[in-house]
């Protein structure tokens, strides 16, 4: 167990506890030190040994996961990954958990599938690894990572420049939901069109977009294939689908498509940034926010090479300084900016 990420699984379903245990322990860097059917048993387990990460169900007997999370964040902050159903209520509760301090969320694993999908194993294990490196606030060998080439070939020349309209592309992962909220809430109503990739399971993105739409001056919605990217609008890439920026004449729009995991994700920030470098080039502003891993780093480098202006969230304000750090390391960043100042920076660059 030395050096392994220690996980506590809290879920009232014995089957789910076993499935998650099998999936997590298929990764040599992770060990499940205990499981618990409810928060009361979980509290006893934590007293014996503090885990590095807790996976937490939302609907449980005796105490629900949201109440337990509130108590945990106030008394003993530990990185928490929420496991939620794909129902409308489950999605809303999961987003509330992220607001309270959970660092990531997962869709509950599909049961009854004998050979668990390899992609699901990758996403679950990577999410737990990301959570282990997070700084929660108080109140198996896998396949080689694919690059954006798997979805969109690199442009042979520079991007088309028939339009001077600006467009903003944003990528985020662990801790990104609240970072995106912080940025978009400060964006004025007449700002250039925005496309966002946040690593999040299918169906959660619609609830996330609806929540943002209620609190932002701009309109925010989940992206659909062929949606136009217009001033005063932010499109959130739907979970489990790649979202690309395209252009027809002076009109920007998005293409939503299936495809393989790219940089271990779908949607992938690298895919969005690659498409923006091709179809917007110097008219784009690229922003990379908090997140584990390197998704978006190569795409950000391509954006800069295409003449775009690029921004990375600074380390002090990140939950996990992984994706921004990789983009900086590759030389793809023009400005490193604190989270609270990013919206103002975007507005100035687009003026």
265 is catalytic: no
Helices (H), the chain: 14-24, 39-48, 65-75, 88-100, 118-132, 176-185, 204-215, 269-279, 297-305, 323-329, 339-350
Question: Which entry of 199, 211, 263, 270 is annotated as an active-site residue?
Answer: 199
* DSSP assigned state of 85: -
| 296's tokens | 């978006």
Q: CA 50, 56, 59, 62: dihedral to nearest 10 degrees?
A: 0
Beta-bridge partner residues of 10: 36, 56
Distance of CA 154 to the CA centre of its chain: 24
70-100 residues labelled b (16+ CB within 10 A) or e (exposed) = eebbeeeebbbbbbbbeeeebbbbbbbbbeb
Q: Can the peptide bond before residue 267 be classed as cis, meaning omega within 30 degrees of 0? A: yes
How far is it between the farthest Cα atoms of the chain? 64
The CA distance from 279 to 158, in Å, is 9
H or E segment and range at residue 336: strand 335-337
Catalytic-labelled residue, pool 84, 93, 173, 277: 173
Q: How far apart are CA 325 and CA 14, in angstroms?
A: 39
Tokens 């202006």 belong to: 309
Residue with tokens 């509330």: 96
Residue of 277, 295, 314, 317 with catalytic role = 295
Select from 282, 278, 74, 284 the least CA-distant residue to 167.
Answer: 284
3-state secondary structure of 49: coil
Catalytic, 38? Answer no
CA–CA distance, 41 with 61 (Å, rounded to integer): 11
Phi then psi for 97, rounded to 5 degrees? Answer: -65, -40
The two structure tokens encoding residue 12: 């009232």
* Active site (annotated) includes residue 317: no
Cβ atoms of residues 194 and 184 within 8 Å: yes
Half-sphere exposure of 158 (CA within 13 A, CB side): 11
Just list the catalytic residues: 173, 199, 295
């Amino acid at each position: 167990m030395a050096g392994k990420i220690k996980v506590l699984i809290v879920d009232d379903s014995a089957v789910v506890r076993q499935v998650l245990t099998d999936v997590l322990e298929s990764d040599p860097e992770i060990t499940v030190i205990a499981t618990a059917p409810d928060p009361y048993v979980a509290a006893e387990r934590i007293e014996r040994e503090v885990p590095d990460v807790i996976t937490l169900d939302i609907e449980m007997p005796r105490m629900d996961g949201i109440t337990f999370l509130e108590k945990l964040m106030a008394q003993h902050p530990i990185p928490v990954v929420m496991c939620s159903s794909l129902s409308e209520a489950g999605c809303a509760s999961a987003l509330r958990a992220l607001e309270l301090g959970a660092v990531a969320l997962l869709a509950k694993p599909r049961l009854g599938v004998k050979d668990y999908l390899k992609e699901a194993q990758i996403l679950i294990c990577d999410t737990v690894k990301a959570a282990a490196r997070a700084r929660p606030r108080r109140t198996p060998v896998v396949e080689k990572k694919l690059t954006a080439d798997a979805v969109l070939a690199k442009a042979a020349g520079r991007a088309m420049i028939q339009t001077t309209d600006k467009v903003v592309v944003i990528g985020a992962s662990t801790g990104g939901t609240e970072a995106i909220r912080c940025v978009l809430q400060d964006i004025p109503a007449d700002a250039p069109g925005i496309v966002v990739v946040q690593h999040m399971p299918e169906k959660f993105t619609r609830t996330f977009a609806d929540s943002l739409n209620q609190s932002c001056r701009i309109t925010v919605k989940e992206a659909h294939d062929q949606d136009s990217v217009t001033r005063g609008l932010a499109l959130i890439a739907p979970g489990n689908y790649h979202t690309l920026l395209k252009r027809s004449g002076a009109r920007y729009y998005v293409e939503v498509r299936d495809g393989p995991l790219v940089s271990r994700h779908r949607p992938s920030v690298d895919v969005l940034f690659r498409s923006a470098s091709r179809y917007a080039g110097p008219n784009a502003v690229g922003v990379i926010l908090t997140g584990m891993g390197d998704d978006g780093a190569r795409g950000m480098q391509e954006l800069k090479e295409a003449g775009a202006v690029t921004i990375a969230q600074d380390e002090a304000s990140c939950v996990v300084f992984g994706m921004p750090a990789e983009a900086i390391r590759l030389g793809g960043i023009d400005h490193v900016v604190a989270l609270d100042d990013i919206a103002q920076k975007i507005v100035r660059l687009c003026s």
